[in-house]
Amino acid sequence: MYILSVIVSGKGKNGEGLKKPRRLHVLPPTVEAVNLGKEERESTSRTLAVNVLLLVIGLGVAYGVFLGIELAYSTNAPLRVVISQSMVPKYNVWDVVVVKGVGPQIVPVLIFNVPIQGINASTIKLGDDIIFWYPAYSLSDPIVHEVVGITPQASACQGDVEFTTHGINNQQGVNEPGICGSSFDGSGSYVIGVVTGKIPYVGYVSEFLKTPVGLILILTLIGILLAVEILEPGDHDTKSGT
């Protein structure tokens, strides 16, 4: 109330006269200042739109490249991470093996499932390393082992080829028989691919990026890059105007 009385009556607490407060004159912004602020906002919006567009294009290109690899290798999983030691020293844990699809395969393309045909299982030779499902081991992932036995026109595989495999780091005699050449042979054990190469230890990166921490790290980096790109134009405009 004291402050209000001073402003209204011009008198202090003891009735003493006070100097009238000075009036502050607020000048309206100039046309140049208004236009400059408008240009800065438009520049920021354009920068954000361009960066989002570039991000979408980059993701689209990456998806297109990987889809091309899937179609070229006739499988929806041309790269697989080794997670066991059964093929050491040929394949170490976290190596990535390059896989060529065998038999009928399905490659998802956006919302569609595209059926494609991999190589024929009859082209697999002794000593080749194959990727296969083997329910007897109750594993949630397929296995990669070396082919040590081939039976053409096997009755267990409805006349198709049958394979026996072995992990080179496993004990002798621990083999996987009864692996059919196709999922259509009526067996739960069948080949899905043959190894054509490997990329050492890349699996460390791919497995880390699948974790919540890896996902948060990627999103954080993208956010930082976008923020830097958005803030830079304003900084440059301010410097150029001083």
Q: What is the pLDDT of residues 88-119, one digit of tens each?
A: 999 999 999 999 999 989 898 888 899 999 99
> What's the pLDDT band for 215 if we cut at 50, 70, 90?
confident
- Res 8 pLDDT > 60: no
Residue 14 has pLDDT above 60, yes or no: no
- Extents of the domains making up the chain: 73-208
Pairing of strands 104-109, 112-117: antiparallel
* pLDDT classification of 74: cutoffs 50, 70, 90: very high
Percent of the chain past pLDDT 90, that is, above it, reads 48
166 backbone dihedrals φ, ψ, rounded to 5°: -150, 135
Is-contact 165 146, C-beta < 8 A?
yes
| pLDDT for 1 | 38
Q: Does residue 27 or residue 210 have the better pLDDT?
A: 210
Confidence at residue 23, expressed as pLDDT on a 0 to 100 scale:
62
Helix (H, G, I), strand (E, B) or coil at 45: helix
The pLDDT of residue 19 is 58
| Cβ-proximal residues to 147 (8 Å cutoff; 6+ apart), any chain | 124, 125, 126, 127, 128, 129, 130, 163, 164, 165
Per-residue pLDDT tens for 157-180?
999 999 999 999 999 889 999 999
Residues 232, 49 contacting (CB under 8 angstroms): no
Name the least confident of 44-58, 112-126, 168-182, 218-232: 218-232
Residue-level pLDDT at 2:
36
3-state secondary structure 132-186: EECHHHCCCCCEEEEEEEEECCCHHHCCCCEEEEECCCCCCCCEEEEEECCHHHC
Q: What superfamily would CATH give domain 73-208?
A: Umud Fragment, subunit A (2.10.109.10)
Question: Distance of alpha carbon 3 from its chain centroid, rounded?
Answer: 63
Flag whether pLDDT at 3 surpasses 50. no
Label residue 71 by pLDDT band (50, 70, 90).
very high
H helix intervals, the chain: 2-9, 31-72, 203-209, 212-241
Pairing label, strands 96-101, 79-81? antiparallel
Q: What's the pTM value of the predicted model, to 2 decimals?
A: 0.70
Query: Which tokens is 186 given?
Result: 């009526």
Respond yes or no on whether the N-terminal peptide bond of residue 177 is cis (omega within 30° of 0): no
